[in-house]
Chain A
Amino acid sequence: MNANEFILEMNNISKEFPGVKALDNVTLKIRAGTVHAIMGENGAGKSTLMKCLFGIYKPDAGEIILNGNKINIRDSKEALDYGISMIHQELHPVRFRNVMENIWLGRFPMKNYGVLKLVDEKKMYEDTEKLLKSIDVDIKPTEIVRNLSASRIQYIEIAKALSYNAKIIIMDEPTSSLTENEVDHLFNLIRNLKKNGVAIIYISHKIDEIFQISDEVSIMRDGKMVGTWNASDLTEDMVISKMVGRELTNRFPARDVVPDGVILKVENLSSPFPKSFKNVSFELRKGEILGIGGLVGSQRTELVEALFGLRSIESGKIFIHGKEVVIKSPIDAKKYGMALLTEERRSTGIFPELNILENSTIANIKKYKGSFMLLNDKRRKDDTKKMVDALKVKTPSLRTLIKNLSGGNQQKVLMARWLLTVPEILILDEPTRGIDVGAKYEIYTIMNELTKEGKSIIMISSEMPELLGMADRIMVMCEGHLSGILDKKDATEEKIMRLASKYTD
């Protein structure tokens, strides 16, 4: 074996954030001209590892070796200079600027006008046109990015990453808002890059994608590297069991609730905004878990936020227990027995600087008014304690700040918050995003218990196995339309994907 077998080696990388060991002695070796997939549950450390490679985070320990030379990457500019580019998981456009400025940001083509060195807009336009044409994408270089759909924006990110002519391209969830055809398109681009000797580090949750495109697979779990295998030596079950660290059989608790009777009925709900949800009709039964699938940008979150009174509705009707209701704000929604756990736990869920007691009782604080309009702390404590015990929140005390809990425990506190309002309909938007496997199982168990008690759940999820494992029915959205509802018994990943790409522009 020669020394240049690997174009890139990340050896013994460790990274610690306050309270979490995000990366623990992780080693990753990448060969030129291959697609190397990294798999793992949310929070396994994949993105953190890539951010260390791309200069966004500085590893606490370990070394990075590129083409046999040890390098030190201090920021993203240096990573780019070393020939490493990245498609970021969270889309990173500057929304108010146009396509070409987004693509060439940080390295605008310049031209000398006498003593002045100005941006060469003409060259930038032509280069952008050429670049987009080379990947068969038709977007006007001067279009303002905020006017584009999520999948177009993802293409711009892809085009940008390719335009660096990098030797290593990191793709962190590049298909999260692409339709089936677009994914095929991307894979063709990747195969071309491979032919030219480019190494691709590919992160995805979608196991079928991994088997389609990758040569090698590295699997991470809880900040540690489980190992690296040839993709051809692995099966889907093997990947999953290595990812979760136990056998596949117990990923989801068994559901034995038989839903009965309609509790919520939605008729032709439409948003006033052209790109948002239109004409959505569905029913939710008592004791049911209704899953909502779809790509990023399919307006699932917008739909449930409208149901909860956070967004305006132009037309359509909502019935609860057969009675038409008007929900104009979360205050109304709460009155009708609804609760919403938002998608972004950190920005719209927790109050990070408040403790568990405050976080748990905030949605229901009026109930605890005692004499002289003051809060009755004893009752608040008792109720919170009961919930914390019932949901098995791991915390030293009720006075612990919520920001110091793990993601899974934070999510449980948020569940406690809403359960204290005694809801009938729980809307959970990506309830297990970014929490570890064990906690996921506990959340699923809680969901089952709740439905047994007769509560109904709407669950948005981007994780196909979660939808298939937990939902009684799965409704799939695409570009704001409801593209179909599948029963648990005949739902498959393939069917969901097809419905998720039913309407494309």
Chain B
Amino acid sequence: MPNKIKDYLSQYAIYFVLLLLIIVIAIKNPTFMSFRVFRDILSQSSTRIIVALGASFAILIGGADLSAGRMVGFAAVLSASLLQTANYPNRFFPGLPQLPIFVPLLITLAVGFIFGLLNGFAISKFSVPPFIATLGSMVVIYGADNIYFSQPPNNSQPIAGLRSDFTNIGTGSIFGIPYLIIIAAVMTIIMWIILNKTSFGKDLYAIGGNREAAIVSGVNVRRRILLMFAIAGALYALAGFLEAARTGGATSEYGNMYEMDAIAACVVGGWSVSGGVGTIPGIIVGVFIFTVINYGLTFIGMNPYWQLIIKGLIIVSAVAVDIRKYLAKK
């Protein structure tokens, strides 16, 4: 049954690519196969996974969310500005009292949610294609971020001196497992439940697969899309919050081009750019592939610019293989 094997191979092609990458790297340097490396790859993937989970929504309805990276950046600056130590000389808000950590978190998430809502509003109410609506908001958010960031007394200085209870979220661990990994895992599970077990998620698959069908079945397509982009915004905000905590600072350049990595991870993970198809494990593997390339090829001492070439080739060939699945059945 050569056809069956072919089917199987193309179905799981991306998993084989990941495996192959790991094998090649491990042959070059056997110390790659260690718990420490494994943990590093997972924690480096964590915020990327959260961004990709958010970006997957737009892809599910056949669009793309370009505003993801800039939202991450704004969220990082915003949360960092609210969580500096009291005795740091160059505070963003000199008189700001010590807030309980959940307050800046909620503010950041709310801002992300509202930005997402605006994306969703333009897309569902005014039928602006997602690609264009988020292209616009990407620029707007970057502008807003820089206006905020350049305010006196900060004057576009990198925001530093973050509270240790904040940075601990990004660097600490429990029983040897970094908090970042735990948070990403929880978000992954929540997204899996949303997409597979709620009527909201199933409606989104239907909207992406056949919008007309969803409309005549009585699905409130507009409201679904509105909520979808808002949740995506909150996920980007969470990622920005964690990025600031992980790196112990923030500038308005944070998150630059993250949307591209997120979209790449989704399509490499089998998400159809025409919408309606995609799984959570696909996103995770998609993110892992890029982290393994990043981390692994540095690990074996390869010129970092080769990584970009390999990355680009994987994106195009993954989609080329993936699309064959659908073409052949026509």
Chain A residues at the B interface, C-beta cutoff of 8 Å: 54, 56, 75-77, 80-81, 86, 88, 92-97, 101-102, 105-108, 110, 116-119, 121, 146, 160, 273
Whether the Cβ atoms of A56 and B329 lie closer than 8 Å is: no
Q: Please, which residues of chain A bring their CB within 8 A of the CB of B213? A: 92-94, 102, 105
**Whole-angstrom CA separation of A88 from B215 in the bound complex:** 12
Indicate whether A119 sits within 8 Å of B218 (C-beta atoms), given known contacts A97-B206, A105-B213: no
Tell me the minimal C-beta distance from A262 to chain B in angstroms: 31
Give the residues in chain A near B214, CB-CB below 8 Å: 94, 105-106
Is A118 a contact partner of B198 (Cβ separation < 8 A)? yes
Chain A residue numbers with a CB within 8 Å of B209 are 94-97
Residues of B within 8 A of A80 (CB): 218
Interface size on B, residues (CB 8 A): 24
Taking the closest CB of chain A, its distance from the CB of B232, in whole angstroms, is 20
Cβ–Cβ contact A54 & B216, under 8 A: yes
Within 8 A of A (CB), among B24-57: none
Check B206–A107 contact: CB distance below 8 A: no
Chain B residue contacts of A56, Cβ below 8 A: 215-216
A/B pair count, beta carbons within 8 Å: 77
Chain B, residues 284-318, CB within 8 Å of chain A (1/0): the string is 00000000000000000000000000000000000
Q: Check B206–A94 contact: CB distance below 8 A.
A: yes
In Å, the complex CA distance between A146 and B330 comes to: 10
Bound-complex Cα distance A56 to B219 (A): 13
**Known contacts A96-B277, A273-B328, A273-B330; is-contact A106 B218 (Cβ 8 Å):** yes
The verdict on B193 contacting chain A, using a C-beta distance below 8 Å, is yes
A76-B205 contact, Cβ under 8 Å, with A110-B199, A119-B199, A273-B328? no
CA distance A97 to B275 in the complex (A): 12
Say whether B197 contacts A105, CB under 8 Å.
Answer: no
Closest 6 CB pairs of A and B: A77-B218, A106-B217, A94-B209, A106-B218, A105-B217, A92-B213
Measured between alpha carbons, how far is A34 from B328 in the docked complex, in Å?
A: 45
CB nearest neighbor in A for B278: A96
- Cα distance A56–B276 in the bound complex, in angstroms: 22
A94 pairs with B276, CB closer than 8 A: yes
Which one, A88, A93, A94, A117, contacts B205 given CB within 8 A?
A: A94
**Bound: A413/B94 CA distance, A:** 74
Do residues A118 and B193 form an inter-chain contact, with CB atoms below 8 A?
yes
Q: Could you tell me if B199 and A76 are in contact, using CB atoms closer than 8 angstroms?
A: no
Determine if B125 is an interface residue (Cβ-Cβ < 8 Å).
no
Known: A75-B215, A118-B193. A105 touches B202 (CB 8 A): yes
Cβ–Cβ contact A92 & B212, under 8 A = yes
Query: Are the C-beta atoms of B210 and A77 separated by less than 8 Å?
Result: no
Nearest chain A CB to B2's CB is how many angstroms away?
Answer: 13
Instruction: Give the residues in chain A near B156, CB-CB below 8 Å.
Output: none
The contact string, 1 if C-beta is below 8 Å from chain A, for chain B 194-230, is: 0001110011011001101111111110000000000
**Complex Cα–Cα for A151 and B80 (A):** 60
Give the shortest distance, in Å, between A273 (CB) and chain B (any CB).
7
Report Cα–Cα, A144/B209, bound state, in Å. 12
Given A107-B217, A119-B199, A273-B329, 19 other A-B contacts at CB below 8 A?
A54-B216, A75-B218, A76-B215, A88-B216, A93-B213, A94-B206, A94-B209, A94-B276, A96-B205, A96-B209, A105-B202, A105-B203, A105-B206, A106-B218, A106-B219, A107-B218, A117-B198, A118-B193, A121-B197
Taking each of B202, B213, B219, B277, which has the highest tally of chain A beta carbons within 10 Å of its own beta carbon? B213
A277 to B205, CA, bound (A): 31
CB distance from B95 to the nearest CB of A (A): 39
Mark contacts of B212-253 with chain A using CB atoms, 8 A cut-off: 1 yes-contact digit, 0 otherwise: 111111111000000000000000000000000000000000
**Bound-state Cα–Cα, A121 to B193, Å:** 13
Query: Cβ of A118 and Cβ of B197 under 8 Å apart?
Result: yes
In the assembly, what is the distance between CA of A101 and CA of B209, in Å?
A: 12
Q: Which A residues are CB-close (under 8 A) to B205?
A: 94, 96-97, 101
* Distance from A286 Cβ to chain B, minimum over Cβ atoms (Å): 33
Give the CA-CA distance A162 to B240 in the complex, in Å. Answer: 49
Which of B197, B205, B217 has the most CB atoms of chain A within a 10 A radius of its CB? Answer: B217
B139 CB to nearest A CB, Å: 29
In the bound complex, what is the Cα–Cα distance between A93 and B220 (angstroms)? 17
- Taking a contact as CB atoms under 8 Å apart, the answer to whether A101 and B206 are in contact is yes
List A contacts of B193 (CB < 8 A).
116, 118
Complex-state Cα separation, A106 to B199, whole angstroms:
8
Q: How many angstroms between the C-alpha atoms of A229 and B283 in the bound complex?
A: 60
**Complex formed: what's the CA distance from A75 to B203 in Å?**
17
A95 surroundings in chain B (CB, below 8 A): 209-210, 276
The CA of A96 and the CA of B310, in the complex, are separated in Å by 31
Residues of A with C-beta under 8 A to B329: 146, 273
- A105 surroundings in chain B (CB, below 8 A): 202-203, 206, 213-214, 217, 219
CB A117 to nearest CB in B, in angstroms, measures: 8
Contact B218 A108 (CB under 8 A): no
Minimum CB–CB distance from B112 to chain A (whole Å) comes to 23
Residue picked from A75, A94, A118, most chain B C-beta under 10 Å: A94
Q: Are the CB atoms of A76 and B276 closer together than 8 Å?
A: no
What are 10 A-B contacts defined by CB distance under 8 Å?
Answer: A86-B216, A92-B210, A94-B209, A97-B202, A101-B206, A105-B202, A105-B206, A107-B217, A118-B193, A121-B197
Contact partners of B276 in chain A: CB under 8 A:
94-97
Q: Are A92 and B216 in contact (CB under 8 A)?
A: yes
B220:A77 contact, CB within 8 angstroms: yes
User: Roughly how many angstroms separate A277 CA and B12 CA in the complex, as a whole number?
Assistant: 29
**Chain B neighbourhood of A81, CB < 8 A:** 218
Question: In the complex, what residue of chain A is closest to B207 when comparing beta carbons?
Answer: A94
A260 to B214, CA, bound (A): 52
Residues of A near B217 (CB, < 8 A) are 76, 105-107, 160
Closest residue of chain B to A302 (Cβ to Cβ) is B330
Q: Find out whether the CB atom of A94 lies under 8 angstroms from the CB atom of B210.
A: yes
In chain B, positions 143-199 with a C-beta closer than 8 Å to chain A are 193, 197-199
Which A residues are in CB contact (< 8 Å) with B215? 56, 75-76
A101–B219 alpha-carbon span in the complex (Å) = 13
Measured between beta carbons, the chain A residues less than 8 angstroms from B216 are 54, 56, 76, 86, 88, 92
CA of A229 to CA of B183 in the docked complex: distance in angstroms? 69
Give Cα A88 to B276, complex, Å. Answer: 21
Q: Which residues of B contact A146 (CB under 8 A)?
A: 329
Q: Among the interface residues B197, B202, B218, which one has the most CB atoms of the partner chain A within 10 A?
A: B218
A326: shortest Cβ distance to chain B, in Å?
22
Name the distance in Å between A441's Cβ and chain B's nearest Cβ. Answer: 33
B225 smallest CB distance to A (angstroms): 15
Cα-based distance from A142 to B205 in the complex (angstroms):
15
B272 and chain A: residue at smallest CB distance: A96
CB distance from A128 to the nearest CB of B (A): 14
Q: What is the CB-to-nearest-CB distance from A344 to chain B, in angstroms, rounded to a whole number?
A: 14
Q: In the complex, what residue of chain B is closest to A113 when comparing beta carbons?
A: B197
Q: How far is the CB of B186 from chain A (nearest CB, A)?
A: 15
List, in ascending order, chain B residues with CB within 8 A of A96's CB: 205, 209, 276-277
Separation of A81 and B202 alpha carbons in the complex (Å): 21
Chain B residues with Cβ below 8 Å from A93 are 210, 213
B25 to chain A, nearest CB (A): 34
Question: In the complex the two chains form, what is the Cα distance from A108 to B218 in whole Å?
Answer: 11
Most buried by A among B193, B213, B216, B219: B216
